[in-house]
């Protein structure tokens, strides 16, 4: 039974401005770094065997903070990147409305499909289970990828709440199925002024 702890990266200036980041390589801001440190502190009281992370700075830096604090291996994998947002990347909702009108979300703007994200996410999950059977692995990725992949892994999953920065969602393999034991938990942030 492999356990995966899905973690959304720490906050960035683009998150604060509500800009579509997609695969643009935006770093953590100071608050995001503090969130990552708080998360690493939380994980010191738990047993984890490895960390996987998207190669984008915001996820990679969050994962490095955790891996260094726990002294566990870090695997960087571009398949864990955020959804590619095409022409939307770098824009706010107001800018999209100005450029493309109120119905911009129905337009073909080069945004990656859910199927593409699920396919690459499931590949990584299979590899984690192969390389870390019966172990506990953290995966630091991005909001759209995690929230799109989880219902594909757990079809009867009811949780759909927006994933917060550095939130933790625990899933474990039970026979051939996945179950969710914890969703969108951010109790580690209660201990710090963020």
Residues taking part in catalysis: 9, 82
Q: DSSP state, 168?
A: E
Tokens of 186: 């951010």
* DSSP H helices in the chain: 13-17, 30-43, 57-70, 93-100, 114-131, 143-153
Q: Residue 43, exposed/middle/buried by CB under 10 A (0-12, 13-18, 19+)?
A: buried
Q: Pick from 84, 82, 89: which is nearest to 145 by CA?
A: 82
């Amino acid at each position: 039974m492999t356990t995966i702890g899905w973690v959304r990266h720490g906050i960035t200036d683009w998150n604060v401005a509500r800009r579509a980041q997609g695969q643009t390589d935006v770093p953590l801001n100071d608050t995001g770094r503090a969130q990552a440190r708080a998360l690493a502190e939380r994980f010191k009281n738990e047993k984890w065997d490895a960390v996987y992370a998207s190669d984008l700075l915001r996820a990679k830096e969050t994962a490095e903070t955790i891996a260094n604090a726990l002294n566990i291996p870090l695997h960087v994998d571009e398949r864990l990147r955020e959804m590619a947002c095409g022409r939307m990347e770098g824009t706010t909702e107001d800018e999209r409305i100005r450029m493309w009108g109120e119905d911009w979300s129905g337009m073909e703007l080069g945004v990656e499909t859910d199927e593409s994200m699920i396919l690459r996410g499931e590949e990584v999950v299979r590899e984690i289970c192969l390389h870390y059977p019966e172990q506990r692995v953290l995966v630091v990725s991005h909001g759209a990828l995690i929230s799109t992949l989880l219902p594909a892994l757990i079809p009867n999953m009811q949780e759909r709440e927006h994933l917060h920065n550095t939130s933790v969602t625990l899933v474990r393999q039970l026979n051939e199925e996945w179950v969710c034991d914890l969703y969108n938990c951010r109790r580690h942030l209660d201990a710090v002024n963020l």
